[in-house]
Structure 1
Amino acid sequence: MALVLTEEQSMLRDSARGLIGDHAPVSHLRALRDSRDATGFSRDLWKSFAEMGFAGLLVPEEFGGSGLGCVEAGVVMEEIGRTLMPSPFLSTAVLAASALSRGGNKAQRSEHLPKISEGSLVAALGLDEGAKHRPLQTKMQAVRSGNGFKLNGAKALVVDGHVADLLIVAARTAGQAGERDGITLFLVDPKTKGIATERTIMVDSHNAARIEFDNVEVTADHVLGEVDQGFALLEGVLNVGRGAVASEMVGLSEEVFGRTVDYLKERKQFGKRIGEFQALQHRAAQLYIDIEITRAAVLNALQKLDSDFENAASAVAVAKARAGATATRAVQEGVQMHGGMGMTDQFDIGFFMKRARVCEELFGDANFHADQLARARGY
């Protein structure tokens, strides 16, 4: 399959770029940060997002969505990365929509997917419990109680957790930390008795939360997928999320590159524009090559998720690891080529550096995915 967008996908990109560029430039994120906005994103803008069909990209048509694929979701995420737009697109339109579409029963899909598509429901995935992404190390307990379960434990770095109307929570119904079997996914109302949510102040000014569960009661109807066999569903959903975050990092990297090149053409030193210095030209050229290679790797992973979902894990691992390394290099070069001013809050480059660092950690850093790839190939 050619590693280029179709005409329809290019039109979707242009539509998303127009909306996001006009209504959510980096100054939008800066304003939310400076005002200490309690929500962390613009609900009016999210409503506009939904009205244009972006919130329902991965929702099947029968539930009010577009029924499109991961490539289309990646196209939108790339545009989000260009302006660092804070929104529930990743948590809700990508992760939750994928989880419900792939693992939900008819009642669960009918109840939640139309609301996601219309932008009236924000959902969040509660997975990691420590400082690093380790899905198999899930320790949170779900003990059988009557016709359901009681949840006990805590989740960290829950994206959009403090504003979520619905939580998708991974917990152990059997086995020990490190085992694939025994993980079950639950749909939980965050207003349920025993849930305590604390918003986390993120370095990149985006939303996250820590959520504690103290004897939280859920019924069997709240189980998403199969009891004890939720890891396969979870891993598939995470791969979709990883592809989306990798796309965001591609957009972020390209925006930083563009801003840096513009600066090289304007800034003068020793009577010459610094872009005339060969050393900086070489560094800029290498960064451009890295971004284009990464773009191809990410698009390949997204296409693989759409065409051969069950066998896409390796392509996704390559894409996420490559995107993290490229974004890190892009922001570091951007800051260095801007000189000391690049580290000041006056310039937007610092926002991109902080977001790149968070995206690198989301759903596994480069080391995590290199390890996953090595294990998959028998090393």
Structure 2
Amino acid sequence: MSMLYSDDDRMLADSAEEFFSAQSPVAAQRALRDHSSELNYDPNVWQQMLELGWAGVTFPEQLGGLDFGFKGLGAIFEAKGKYLAASPMFSSVVLSGSLLQQLANSEQQAWLSDIISGEKRVALAFEEQARHAPDSCLTTATEHGNDIILTGKKTMVIDGVSPDAWLVTACYEGENRVFIVPFSEQVTVQRINLVDSRNYAEISFAQLKLPKTALLGSAAETRKALAHTLDLGRLCLSCELLGAAKALLNMTVEYLKVREQFGVKIGTFQALQHRAARCFVELELAQSTVMAALSAADNADSEFASSVSLAKWKLANTADLISNEAVQMHGGIGVTDELDIGLFVKRIRVAQMCLGDADFHHARFAALMA
């Protein structure tokens, strides 16, 4: 099983890096932070990503996708990480699109087609606690005549402010199920402000009435689909963390080459060379875990879940090491807003926590391998 990018994957990776470098550089993320909008991403950049077909990279051609594979998707997310590019690709395409692909019936598939074309944007709402707890669900869905009544609250809904719909998990007949909830003024939406200045929301439902056609899939299908979808999300976050860590290490090495102290370049100090070398080695090891997980996704490997948790754990720790060393080796200027380092550190901190931090995946990997 090859763990390397194919020529096609490499071409997509190169084009993604060129695109984000030109259309969504780090300076654009800084501008989004300083002039916050409702979306917290540039819709023009998102439209260009849609025109490139990136929303359909992993989906089959009969659904309007490119059937390109997960290594191609991983290459895009790694490039996104290098430039801190904000877009709804993670929330709408990876999480919501994957879940719909697995659970939607023929009528509900229209939502997936609209996600791939970019006509609609959908957000997955499943978290209810401060820490990632995918099996916990206090939101309830009960039958009332021909309707379903939804009551509860979701937090940390990524791109949850003003989507066209949410996919909401709720306890229905004793099982965790998923419902399509179109955007409505009856849903209470409160923005959550995190350090990476992206679009997050807390949403609440108070006796929200839904048709029975809002229910996706069977109970057994939902358990499997939710687990697989979250793993795909964790894999994409690992790719993004890989890109961000690479960018930070490159910035730090370049700084070591030009910064002078005591009349010499600080890059000649052996202690700093050793620290940079350690970061490089850890990053190479981290990349191998990501490539293994991407290969497992493309080959429907039975060890996909464990390989994803290994990658997420490794990237969380490696990105933590490199972000800390980047700040330390830049010295005092490393903690100022003058440099982009702080923007990377803030995004890394949120991505580390999202869909399970290092501790969560350390424990999950151990349980899966037991």
Structure 1 partner of 2:134 = 135
Residue matched to 1:364: 356
CA distance in 2, matches of 1:301, 1:146: 45
Whether the 8 Å contact between 2:150 and 2:208 is mirrored in structure 1 is yes
Q: Distance in 2 between matches of 1:15 and 1:228?
A: 40
Normalising by structure 2, we get a TM-score of: 0.97
CA contact (8 A) 1:60 1:101 kept: no
Kindly indicate whether the alpha-carbon contact (under 8 Å) linking 2:253 and 2:276 is maintained by their aligned counterparts in 1.
yes
Describe the superposition over 1:120-165 as per-residue Cα deviations: whole angstroms up to 9, x where unpaired.
2111110111111001111111112223421111111100000311
- Is the CA contact 1:343–1:350 (under 8 Å) kept in the aligned structure 2? yes
Q: Please, which of 203, 212, 215 is the counterpart of residue 220 of structure 1?
A: 212
**Number of the residue aligned with 1:189:** 182
Q: Is the 8 A contact 1:225 1:233 kept in 2?
A: no
- Cα offset, 1:6, TM superposition: 0.2
Kindly report structure 1 stretches of 4+ aligned residues shifted beyond 6 Å: none
Q: Deviations over 1:150-183 (max 9, x none)?
A: 11111111000003112111111144xxxxxx10
Aligned with 2:55: secondary structure?
coil
| Pairing of 1:33-44 with structure 2 (within 5 A) | 33-44=33-44
* Residue identity in the other structure for 1:117: I
Q: Deviations over 1:183-226 (max 9, x none)?
A: 001111121x5311111112111111111111112222111221
CA distance in 2, matches of 1:91, 1:322: 23
Q: Which amino acid aligns with 2:195?
A: V
Aligned-pair Cα RMSD in Å? 1.3
Q: Is the contact made by 2:313 and 2:359 (CA closer than 8 Å) also made in structure 1?
A: yes
Gaps (5+ residues) in structure 1? 176-181
**Aligned-partner residue type, residue 321 of structure 1:** W
Q: CA deviation at 1:228?
A: 6.8
Aligned partner of 2:156 in structure 1 is 157
Q: Which residue of 2 aligns with 1:178?
A: none
Letter in 2 for 1:273: K
After superposition, the Cα gap between the structure-2 partners of 1:11 and 1:61, relative to the gap in structure 1 and judged at 3 Å, is: same
Rounded to whole Å, the distance in 2 between the matches of 1:136 and 1:310 is: 21
In structure 1, how many angstroms separate the alpha carbons of the residues matched to 2:193 and 2:313? 26
For structure 2, the residue ranges without an aligned partner over 5 or more in a row are none
What is aligned with 2:321?
Answer: 329
TM-score, with length taken from structure 1:
0.95
Report the residue type matching 1:137 in the other structure.
S
Matched-pair contact (CA < 8 Å) for 2:126–2:169: yes
Equivalent of 2:253 in 254, 261, 273: 261
SS of equivalent residue, structure 2 residue 119: coil
Q: CA deviation at 1:4?
A: 1.2
What letter matches 1:306 in structure 2? D
The answer on 1:299 being equivalent to 2:296 is no
Contact 1:96 1:124 in 2 (8 A): yes
Q: Secondary structure at the match of 1:87?
A: coil
2-structure distance, mates of 1:221, 1:228:
18
